[in-house]
Amino acid sequence: GDKPPAATTGKMEIKEQVINFVKKPMPAGLPMQTMRAMLGVEDEKIVPILRDPAKVTEESDAVFYFPGCGSERLFSEVGLATMAMLYETGAQTVLPPGYLCCGYPQTSAGDKAKGSKITTDNRVLFHRVANTLNYLDIKTVVVSCGTCMDQLMKYQFDKIFPGCRLLDIHEYLLEKGVSLDGVEGSQYLYHDPCHAPMKTHDPIKVASTLMGTEVKLSERCCGEAGTLAVSRPDISTQIRFRKQQELQQGIEALTGEVMAKDGNVKLLTSCPACVQGLSRYADDTNLETTYIVSELANKVLGEGWQKRFIERAKEGGIERVLL
């Protein structure tokens, strides 16, 4: 516990890699289906538009939501919560046709040609979407992942949807006045990802306003760092040692104990890789990690919101436009 992990230099031995990898296991219990599969919008020739017919007016926002791999495949509840909260605010949400990666992982792994090709192909596709939906005035591109945000900032979206801007889902909800009346029995820490998706508003202000209660910042990298935890678990273990101390100090500052108990402290974040990374601390801190937008959906829409939202969307809430 209290002893820092050994420093490492050079390449890692296979045995050491396995030991470090097994020490803090990957999260179990991931969703069985992707967000698109649940909503029945996997066809790559169709542009889905989700909106609540009872709430949409001439004045309603049209939003283009790029979910990315982390939010629609890995942690599909994040994509679903984003869609459900956009639906709740009365927005018309346009999804890209079919599953798309933003191109960041390929670029950062050194395959710049592949990353560049994905980016170009996506931009061409989005121009086609913009032409097909030229009757919709799309002014906001929403993301729910900081890594996607970093890559999409290179897409020149203002040339695709003229006059639009890029916002994280939480910033969008803040601007729409979404806010809870505080939360009974829970206090919150916020882990601001290294790939911070909130570029327009201060993340702690966003988290605190949305939750309706003061949210404390938990500093330091979680150690997941995309694929670092898999490729160099030795370095990840060293990073995690300091993050665990930081989390325990955060819990102690709020409760006087070093472990959370019965959900009295929860850990919020806004990055799929960080959800994976932070879930590795569960045994040592008792912290449950969740996306801000997922916590909002749980509180605003109530337990079992996923099933209800999917049913409502499928009963007339999805328009399908042929590309």
Q: What is the pLDDT of residue 28?
A: 63
Q: Is 266 helix (H, G, I), strand (E, B) or coil?
A: strand
* pLDDT 10s digits, 1-57: 578 887 877 887 777 777 766 666 666 666 789 999 999 999 999 999 999 999 999
Taking the CA atoms of 122, 124, 126 and 128 in sequence, report the sign of the dihedral they define: negative
* 58 backbone dihedrals φ, ψ, rounded to 5°: -60, -30
Model pTM greater than 0.85? yes
Q: Is 202 helix (H, G, I), strand (E, B) or coil?
A: coil
What whole-number distance in Å separates Cα of residue 296 and Cα of residue 179? 9
**Residue located via tokens 């209660």:** 213
Q: 234 — alpha (psi -120 to 50), left (phi > 0) or beta?
A: alpha
What is the average pLDDT across 208-216? 97
Q: What is the pLDDT of residue 234?
A: 87
Q: What is the pLDDT of residue 11?
A: 81
29: exposed, middle or buried (C-beta count within 10 Å: 0-12, 13-18, 19+)?
A: exposed
* pLDDT 10s digits, 62-110: 999 999 999 999 899 999 999 999 999 999 999 999 999 999 999 988 9
Give me the residue spans of the domains in the chain: 35-176+301-322, 180-299
* pLDDT 10s digits, 274-299: 999 999 999 999 999 999 999 999 99
Question: In the 8-state DSSP scheme, what is residue 280?
Answer: G
Q: Which CATH number fits domain 35-176+301-322: 1.20.950, 1.20.120, 3.30.70, 3.40.50?
A: 3.40.50
**Average pLDDT along the chain:** 93
